[in-house]
Amino acid sequence: MHPDTYVKSETGHISVGGVLLRDLALRFGTPLYVIDYETVVDRMRQYGQALQGWGTPYYAGKAFCCRAMVELVKQEGLGLDVVSGGELVTALSAGMDPARILFHGNVKTREEIRLGLTAGVGHFVIDSLDELRRINDMAGESEGAAVVLLRLTPGIEAHTHEFIRTGHFDSKFGFAMAEGIATQALEQALALKNIRVEGFHAHIGSQILDDEPFLANAEALMQFSHDCWERLSYWPSIIDLGGGIGVRYSGQDNPPQPGELMNRLAGLVGEWTPPGQTRPRIIMEPGRSIVAEAGFTLYRVEALKKTPGGRTYVSVDGGMGDNIRPALYDASYTCDVDGKAARTPSYAVTVAGRYCESGDILVRDAYVQDPAVDDLLIVWDTGAYGYSMASTYNRVPRPAVVAVHEGQAQVWIEREDWQDVLRLDRPLEKQRDLTI
């Protein structure tokens, strides 16, 4: 709902990380993504403690990735899950130990695999037989074995938006634990010379608010492992349960607590471990639950408008270019007006973005505090999948990302400007004269 260091003054001015949001907007401009350092670090530590003795949290970089964020991941001793060459080079440039990187994704190009092998990433998560063979061949060329996890789909329908569900059998991800598909993939992987299978992975979806789907996922993976032990004498040393733990976008959301959930998951993994075998090390890949609540976006109110139907639109200087989630997933957010936050939010408004799409609505039917032109409007909980899914639609440059901590602000990602918009463009060449 709010970062941990959120403070509201009697005048309704809000500060986070000891910095007044009004000052941030003046100094860095709007729209502006802000990250509360303390909240991120707290969530990282919660996972570190929850998994202590059982395994390791690997932050899912897709939620929000930049050099400074990876440096924090490194500082706090987490591993990192990357899904592209871009995330991988970011991690390497931030000095992340490659051994603590998991390389995910249902498509890894040759170039990306080469980069991963050369860097020495700890694990590749294998998504298809074609990828398995490709990595085997390429690892052979570099005379080493690639250490892998197999991504499995357990057939679990998590109750979350259809676009962010991944555990069902007809998902594009992984090998289904049905019709012998996952078992055959394991058999093939075990037969390959340059592949070492360390275990299994399954991720069932994102923004999941109850424990049950996670337990069902762990149970499915352990049941599968048990079968592999009985039939192939193969026992995994790693069980990667993915990410997906939800956050509080609204007061009604009641997400799982990492500590409690991990205890239950670790207990389950232990119960399924056959006598004489070592309990597999657990990996979790939280993304959203590390960074969503730490982040928020500051916008400037540019216009107000009443429609004949009685709706009041509050139009701001950002929108779907910096936060595509409402348009894509019908995601809802809460918002406040800075400087008025002490008042009762009694005005029902719809916060509209600046992009040329009717669907560019940031917050629908929200009660806010008497917004006016030039006010600063804060949309909370945008730290995950905000910047990382941002675009330059309508050729609007992307905002900066600033982190706040103990009264200081630090730029993590610079604001783009109109020069950046033009940077990759080349002028039309004169038509060549093709007549002979």
Q: Are 215 and 167 in contact (CB under 8 A)?
A: no
The reply to whether 287 sits near ligand LLP by the rule CB under 6 A is yes
- State yes or no: cis peptide before 31, omega within 30 of 0: yes
Minimum Å gap between C-beta 245 and ligand LLP is: 6
Select from 184-192, 201-209, 211-219, 340-348 the region that touches ligand LLP (CB under 6 A). Answer: 201-209
Is residue 64 near ligand LLP by the rule CB under 6 A?
no
- Indicate whether 104 belongs to the interface with ligand LLP (CB under 6 A): yes
For the bound state, the minimum distance from the C-beta of residue 298 to ligand LLP, rounded and expressed in Å, comes to 20
Establish whether 66 is a catalytic residue: no
Q: Tell which residue, 287, 286, 275, has the closest CA to residue 235.
A: 275
Least spacing, CB of residue 379 vs ligand LLP, in Å: 14
243 binds ligand LLP per the rule CB under 6 A:
yes
Neighbours of 326 (CB within 10 A): 21
The Cα 32–Cα 16 span in angstroms is: 14
How many alpha carbons lie under 13 Å from residue 70 in its C-beta half-sphere?
A: 24
Which listed residue (165, 325, 405, 415) binds ligand LLP by CB under 6 A? 325
Closest CA to 147 of 109, 85, 189: 189
Specify the stretch interacting with ligand LLP by CB under 6 A; choose among 33-41, 58-66, 137-145, 269-277. Answer: 58-66
Shortest distance in whole angstroms from residue 287 CB to ligand LLP: 3
Residue 288 touching ligand LLP (CB under 6 A): yes
Based on CB atoms, which residue is closest to ligand LLP, 62 or 354?
Answer: 62
Three-state secondary-structure class, residue 347: strand
Among 14, 16, 25, 63, indicate the residue that binds ligand LLP (CB under 6 A): 63
For residue 200, the minimal CB distance to ligand LLP (Å) is 12
The residues, ordered by sequence, that sit 6+ positions from 82 with a Cβ below 8 Å of its Cβ are 61, 65, 88, 90, 91, 101, 102, 103, 104, 121
In this structure, what are the phi and psi dihedrals at residue 173, rounded to the nearest 5 degrees?
A: -95, 140
- Interface pick for ligand LLP out of 32, 78, 164, 266 (rule CB under 6 A): 164
| 204 forms part of the interface with ligand LLP (CB under 6 A) | no
Q: Which of 60, 126, 189, 366 binds ligand LLP (CB under 6 A)?
A: 60
Tell me the residue ranges of DSSP E strands in 212-328: 238-240, 281-284, 295-306, 312-316
List, in sequence order, every residue forming a beta bridge with 15; answer none if it has no partner. Answer: 7, 20
Out of 56, 206, 225, 334, point to the residue binding ligand LLP (CB under 6 A). 206
Residue with tokens 């899912």: 60
Copy the structure tokens of residue 97.
Answer: 């130990």
Rounded Cα distance, 330 and 123, in Å: 34
Number of residues located near ligand LLP, criterion CB under 6 A: 23
Closest CB 324 distance from ligand LLP, rounded Å: 8
**398 belongs to the binding site for ligand LLP (CB under 6 A):** no
Residue 414 CB partners (closer than 8 Å, separation 6+): 400
Instruction: Tell whether residue 100 is a contact of ligand LLP (CB under 6 A).
Output: no
Segment (H or E) for 136: helix 129-141
Residues that bind ligand LLP (CB under 6 A): 60, 62-63, 81, 104, 164, 203, 206-207, 242-245, 285-289, 325, 329, 384-385, 389
Q: State the catalytic residues.
A: 356
